[in-house]
Amino acid sequence: MGTESGLDAFAGRMLAALYDVRDDGGSFVASPASAYVALEALARGAEGETFDEIDATLGGGMARKAARDALFGEQDAYQPDDYSFTLGVSVWADPSKAPLRSRTLSRSKG
């Protein structure tokens, strides 16, 4: 299963959905990579129906692996040696409305 079934497929679905809901016909800017990483971070702490929905949005097991490899895997031969990709993600939650699993909290502290 190639990258096109992971991050590229997610990006295509996301951009198509955003294009469909634009109300003024103007331009917009979106980062599928940033959205993907944020959803992947949420998936790590989700369970049950919430996890199932996030997992389906991200494309499922093999597609998620392909996307993670594309984002964070080995450097491709065509990239310059000084290339870097840095991205920060944080998850904020009101514990009374969206409780996080203790396992997730302990992994994120540090």
pLDDT at 35: 87
Question: Between vectors from CA 54 to CA 24 and to CA 34, what angle results, nearest 5°?
Answer: 55
More confident residue, 105 or 79: 79
- Are 30 and 15 contacting, i.e. CB atoms less than 8 angstroms apart? yes
- Residue 13 CA, chain-centre distance (Å), reads 13
Predicted pLDDT of residue 2: 44
| Total tally of structural domains belonging to the chain | 1
Q: What is the pLDDT of residue 16?
A: 87
Total-model pTM: 0.61
Q: What is the domain range of residue 70?
A: 3-75+84-108
Confidence category of residue 3, pLDDT binned at 50, 70, 90: very low
